[in-house]
Amino acid sequence: MTGSLVVVGTGPGKAELMTPATSAALARATDLVGYGPYLDRIPATAGQCRHASDNRVELDRARHALSLAASGKQVAVVSGGDPGVFAMAAAVFEAVEAGDPAWRMLDIKVEPGVTAMLAAAAEVGAPLGGDFCAISLSDNLKAWTTIERRLSAAAEADFVIALYNPASKARPRQLGEALALLRAKKKPETPVLFIRAAGTSEAKVVSTTLGAADASTADMRTLVIIGASTTRQVGRWIYTPRGERGIS
């Protein structure tokens, strides 16, 4: 039998935010490959083999999944969120590029999902209502100077900024440095949102300002959103209007 590989995202956490297309792809798979806690979200299917791994070995995991597909298995690689946004899809294609030339002939698909920033935004209103950017603060695979350059450009062009991977035990300092950089370029009253475990029953929001934001509020499960100049509060919601004042 010819193997296949599909890269899926389980969404932000609760089952109701995983798409039916992803559920169907998972049910069809003979083998699931992914970080243990993501696999734990998926209902058991009889006869299906689960290959759980640590969360910091993406390329090894991708190679393992590609080998299984090449041997004839129907493989699903499981990410959280959307698999194409700071998740497993890019790692799979990196492994294809560097690996066995036969892997380029495999049946590989990506199923889109709800990425963390969309669930985080929905928890508080519509902060991503204008032009925005998404930046991972992890400097494991890129230079910190690259991240600084992108934060500066985002501030100067007045994008709403969504920060993925703002902090971890191994990277406690990055978010503080990012906020310091942004304070030099944006107004202190700019809304800042720390949204932890968005799209789960444990969701928790801290709504503050750039002037008052405390980087230690964030952990591995937090998504940070920094407003544009137009981002504002109405009632208990934070949103970014679709346009600029005076244009309609």
**Residue among 103, 158, 124 at smallest CA distance from 235:** 124
Binder among 157, 180, 187, 202 for a copy of itself (CB under 8 A): 157
Q: Tell me how many residues contact a copy of itself (CB under 8 A).
A: 80
The CB-of-27 to a copy of itself minimum distance in angstroms stands at: 12
**Dist CA 173 CA 178 (whole Å):** 9
User: Interface residues for a copy of itself in 75-134 (CB under 8 A)?
Assistant: 82-86, 89-94, 96-97, 104-105, 108-115, 118-119, 121-122, 125-134
If one asks whether residue 44 binds a copy of itself (CB under 8 A), the answer comes out as no
Binder among 33, 42, 135, 179 for a copy of itself (CB under 8 A): 135
Give the relative orientation of helices 144-156 and 174-183 as an angle to the nearest 10 degrees.
Answer: 30
Contact assessment for residue 71 and residue 89, using Cβ atoms and an 8 Å cutoff: no
Residue 193 exposed, middle or buried by CB count within 10 Å (0-12, 13-18, 19+)? buried
If one asks whether residue 57 binds a copy of itself (CB under 8 A), the answer comes out as no
The CB-of-32 to a copy of itself minimum distance in angstroms stands at: 19
**Dist CA 82 CA 80 (whole Å):** 6
User: Interface residues for a copy of itself in 202-231 (CB under 8 A)?
Assistant: none
For a copy of itself, the closer CB: 9 or 218: 9
